[in-house]
Amino acid sequence: MADKESRPIAVVSKSGNSGGLADLIKRTAAEKIGPEDTVLVWPNLVYIEFISMLAITTLLLALAFFSPAPLEELASADTTPNPTKAPWYFLGLQELLVYFDPWLAGVVLPTMIIIGLVLIPYIDPNPLGKGYYTFSERKFAVTGFIFGLGLWYVLILIGVEFRGLDWSWYWPWDDPHIHKPAGAVKLVDMEVIFQNALGLSETPIVTVGRYAITLANILTWALFIGYFVVGITIPFLFMRKFYNRLGFVRYNLTMFLLLAMLGVPLKIYLRLLANIKYVLVTPWFKI
Amino acid sequence: MSDIWGYPYRLGIAIFVTVGIFGIMGIFLGFTIWLENSFKKDKLKK
């Protein structure tokens, strides 16, 4: 007679279910693979990790050798460098300051990026890709993320390589010691463009505290809100499966974050190609 | 209207930003697809 201790805790039936507590937990793809399909940590994984470590160390040594970062003289308020550049990993943010209000470039957008990244596990219900590598099953998520990564890297690249004296743009073939002319382009707000194009009055319709609201100002609000409303509605109408998979809250959060991310290069293009300084102007913030 | 190609290189920067974003995307997506395919061909995987 078998005593209590030697009895197996769970007996696996032919269907693979033990009938025990473990059955209540949803198994991931990796767990469904039996031991015969798995490989050993040593040597298979540790070997690859060791080779990766050697490769990265070599790369870092080569970088340190060919791109030295010597300590400069002590900082002095009398001789501030021109341009004053942040460490490379902050230059994306510094570059955003060219195109956005400091409040937006320095506070709102970084906060939205961090919150957006934190939210990813909650707004992405796609269970595929757990425990194994896949792109084809997660095209939207991976492409969306890589777009943000590309945008960020380009901004850093511009800040590191293409910004010179007075934060002006210098191509590699430009002389970095010659100042560029200031104020070469006159920038205007979207509100002024609406006023001029539609012949709208500059007289405010209503004044709320410091905020004098003109008709053109209301139109810029409509444009700004309309960007998000249209951007959220179009996939809802034409990609209903996508909406159904995410649900109301997840869908709206995803689309809002996606549109905000796409809005960054859009605003950059508006500034560069249409000389628009701000799309929306209020006494408290400018976008 | 000022020369769009001249300083401050508005069109040049716009093209640079576009090509840069999609270029970097291409590199990362290419690597992602290559990685997925190479995992499919993994000899250790039965």
For residue B42, the distance in angstroms to the closest alpha carbon of chain A comes to 12
Question: Mean pLDDT, 10 residues at a time, over chain A (287 residues)?
Answer: 45 51 59 68 90 97 89 86 91 94 93 95 87 88 95 96 93 92 84 90 88 92 96 94 93 96 96 93 91
CB B29 within 8 A of CB A143: yes
At A247, list the tokens: 């649900």
CB contact under 8 A, A169 and B46: no
- What residues have CB less than 8 Å from A255, skipping those under 6 apart? A231, A232, A235
Please tell me the predicted confidence (pLDDT) of residue A81.
Answer: 87
Report the predicted TM-score, pTM, of the whole model to 2 decimal places: 0.79
Please report, in tens digits, the pLDDT of each residue of chain B (46 residues total). Answer: 557 788 888 899 999 999 999 999 999 999 999 999 988 876 555 4
Query: What pLDDT is recorded for position A182?
Result: 79
Q: Domain extents for chain B?
A: 1-46
Residues of chain B that touch chain A, judged by Cβ-Cβ distance less than 8 Å? 2, 7-14, 16-18, 20-25, 28-29, 32-33, 35-36, 39, 44-46
CA angle A27, A28, A29 (to 5 degrees): 125
Instruction: Write down the pLDDT at residue A177.
Output: 92
Positions of E strands within chain A: 206-208, 211-213
Residues 6 or more apart in contact with residue A138 via CB below 8 angstroms? A126, A128, A129
Q: In degrees to the nearest 10, what's the CA dihedral of A86, A88, A92, A97?
A: 20
For position A6, what pLDDT does the model report? 47
